[in-house]
Amino acid sequence: MKKLLILVCVGILTGHTIYAQGCIMVRNISGFGQYNLTDHSFSSSTWQLNIVSRYFKSFREFKDDEDQKNPEAGINHVFSTDFSVSRFFDKGYSINFSLPINANSRSTTTEHGGKGTPRHVTHSFGVGDVRFTAYKWILPPSVNQKGNVQIGLGIKLPTGDYKYQDYFYRNDSTKILAPVNASIQLGDGGTGLIGELNGFYIINRTVNLYGNIYYLVNPRDQNGTSATYGRIPTSIQLKTGSEVNSVPDQYSLRGGMNLNFKKISYSAGLRWEGIPVNDLIGNSNGFRRSGYNLSFEPGLIYSAKKVSLYSYIPIIIGRKTKQTVPDKMESELTGKYVIGSGGFANYLVFLGVLFKL
């Protein structure tokens, strides 16, 4: 019965038909640091420190699933480092605190002088939204366990500055201080509820399966931050409510396989993440870029007794934006189909280190 439960849960974690979302909003790897990255046995340590950095450059502009091939598309450089501390207790309980530090930049023409004018860059740097999460393994943990599924429930606090400002240039001599694009803001301004499932199943000494599901519920509708880059809102923005940033939900699903060879493990899987059009709780008004991306995610893990090093490079193989609530309202008002564009990267880079204290 226990084996059947494990197989069913891991099947749920890894068996989805995965499609995918826009790189400008993706989060750091979820689900790591709760068990040994190579053999999934449980450490005798009480504490673990997990540090993971993420980088990507989004420069391709899509509407729906069509590449706009726009030479003036916005270019984002997004770098974040997530510091996570975990405390382990008896009977499979643990708690985790995560603190992200973000350093972002965005180069555009349209947010400054307009199409055909020189590019200018806006920046943001600082602490992001922190997370507190409590975890429980469904089955009693043991060193030689074939598999298990972990449930996580947590809260995300709006500690990141969601009104971060920089200068937007109107011409060579005029610039205006205003909130930066939502894609490089340090936070979203919402207090969110986190749900996670993390699982593994060991087929043999060499092969094991893994799966992670993460969903962030953001009940807040809009955060009051202007999305006009210092300009006066247009009449259509006022009618659709797109002059103010939304506080969207967010999700991430991962599933795949590890091949273990002594201290080295190779990983291959799929990664699906995105921003939904409609939130699970509350309204979904305001400016957001809804959509998803699908990535093939190879990885490499090196494990020593007290330290594990890992790297994942998701390669995006599918991406799509979706009509948001303001897009649908504008379509009804104008009688023309409207869908916003979103910026995407070709790949992401994750580098991490896990310390068993």
User: For the chain, what percent of residues have pLDDT higher than 90?
Assistant: 75
Q: Which two tokens stand for residue 333?
A: 């008002």
> Using one digit for the tens of pLDDT, what is the confidence trace for 183-196?
999 999 999 999 99
Distance CA 56, CA 344 (A): 9
Query: For the chain, which residues make up each domain, given as ranges?
Result: 2-356
So what's the pLDDT on residue 145? 84
The architecture (CATH level 2) of 2-356 comes to Beta Barrel (2.40)
What's the 3-state SS for 139-187?
CCCCCCCCEEEEEEEEEECCCCCCCCEEEEECCCCCEEEEECCHHHCCC
> Using one digit for the tens of pLDDT, what is the confidence trace for 133-177?
999 999 888 877 889 999 999 999 999 999 999 999 999 889 999
Residue 58 identity: S
DSSP 8-state code for residue 239: H
Q: Average model confidence (pLDDT) for the chain?
A: 87
Detail the DSSP E strand segments found in 64-117. 66-67, 75-88, 93-108
Instruction: Give which of 270, 267, 269, 184 is closest to 227, Cα–Cα.
Output: 184
More confident residue, 264 or 26: 264
> Using one digit for the tens of pLDDT, what is the confidence trace for 230-277?
999 999 999 999 999 999 999 999 999 999 998 899 999 999 999 999
pLDDT at 32 over 80: no
> Using one digit for the tens of pLDDT, what is the confidence trace for 287-314?
999 999 999 999 999 988 889 899 999 9
SS3 20: coil
Distance CA 227, CA 293 (A): 23
Q: What are phi and psi of 150, to 5 degrees?
A: -115, 135
**DSSP characters for 299-318?**
EEEEE-SSEEEEEE--EEEE
> Using one digit for the tens of pLDDT, what is the confidence trace for 323-356?
999 999 999 999 999 999 999 999 999 999 999 8
**DSSP characters for 27-58?**
-PPPSTTSS-TTT-PPPS-SEEEEEEEEEEEE
Distance CA 15, CA 8 (A): 10
Distance CA 17, CA 272 (A): 10
Starting at the edge strand found earlier in the chain, the sheet holding 342-344 runs: 66-67, 60-63, 342-344
Q: What are phi and psi of 202, to 5 degrees?
A: -95, 115
Distance CA 273, CA 345 (A): 13
Residue 231 identity: R
Neighbouring CB atoms inside 10 A of 288's CB total: 28
So what's the pLDDT on residue 43? 55
Residue 189 identity: G
User: What Å distances lie between residue 27 and 143, 166, 209, CA to CA?
Assistant: 30, 23, 22
In this prediction the pTM is: 0.88
Residues sharing a CB contact under 8 Å with residue 278, sequence separation 6 or more, in sequence order: 284, 325
Instruction: Give which of 201, 71, 50, 66 is closest to 133, Cα–Cα.
Output: 50
Give me the mean pLDDT over the 79-105 stretch.
92
Distance CA 80, CA 350 (A): 10
Q: Are 78 and 350 in contact (CB under 8 A)?
A: no
Distance CA 57, CA 345 (A): 5
Q: 76 has which bridge partners? A: 58, 106
So what's the pLDDT on residue 42? 56
Q: Are 343 and 22 in contact (CB under 8 A)?
A: yes
CA angle, 248 as apex, 233 and 349 as ends, to 5°? 105
